[in-house]
Amino acid sequence: MKANDLNKWLVQERARLIDNYLNLIQKCLGGTIYEDPPLQALGSDKFDPVLREYGWDWPSMAHTMIGQKRLGNIRQLVESVLGNGIEGDFIETGVWRGGACILMRAILDAYHITDRCVWLADSFEGLPPPNEEMYPADAGDNFHTFNELRISLETVQHNFQKYGLWDQQVRVLKGWFKDTLPNAPIDKLAILRLDGDMYESTWDALNALYNKVSIGGYVIVDDYHVVQGCKLAVQTFLAEKRLSPVLQEIDGVGVYWQVANGTSSS
């Protein structure tokens, strides 16, 4: 085999192996590879591949509940910022069992990127009771009553370790967002992924971190179409900042947009 042909083959083979690795990681993270049944919190106890594809159930064992569509979106956008040299780390605000962040770290590992970090922002104690006086949109919210959403930092760390991905490129911000995010030691972000469900959690994350997202970076909102408070927080924030992003659909639940020069584009 000639040198040029060998080099071409090596590049193609590397791409194939990376794709196979990340596809397998996604299937493991979402539970589709072992078809674990959902938690009964939502009323069903049988694995449904369609529900799992779109993240419409709460898995009993899988490391994320966002489904394969939203996992695929994370991979697409992370690979986009890496390929285009967009500066910054990655963060998810609200990590549950850590699956979305594990995927981000796996992508960095697959491409041998050593100068970026994945930030995990979470109370690791579940969601806060609604502050109805400050955030009326959260009135009646009961996410804080679900024990299934209280995942400890030790559990999340153990989940990372199962994939061999818990290291110095994983950083933790433990506590309520209003306390941890405003002074977080983050310089720039290439990916800001919001999964705090509530108006307050979404607002706190946007208010503290949006101005750290690099031009060309992405904002992902996990619960935009299924939690009214989350959607209202996004709309209010963008209106107050006079931003006009073109929101891109992911799967009928989540949306994302790309940040550009004080506004946003598709």
Q: What is the pLDDT of residues 14-65, one digit of tens each?
A: 999 999 999 999 999 999 999 999 987 666 778 999 999 999 999 999 999 9
10 Å CB burial of residue 239 (0-12, 13-18, 19+) is exposed
pLDDT > 80? residue 243: yes
pLDDT > 70? residue 264: no
Task: Give the pLDDT score at 52.
Answer: 92
Q: What is the pLDDT of residues 105-129, one digit of tens each?
A: 999 999 999 999 999 999 999 999 9
The pTM for the full model equals: 0.94
Distance CA 164, CA 95 (A): 18
Q: CA dihedral defined by 220, 225, 230, 236, rounded to 10 degrees?
A: 90
Q: What is the pLDDT of residues 128-178, one digit of tens each?
A: 999 999 999 999 989 999 999 999 999 999 999 999 999 999 999 999 999
Closest CA to 35 of 54, 56, 55, 62: 62
Chain centroid, CA 217 distance in Å = 14
- Amino acid sitting at position 160: F
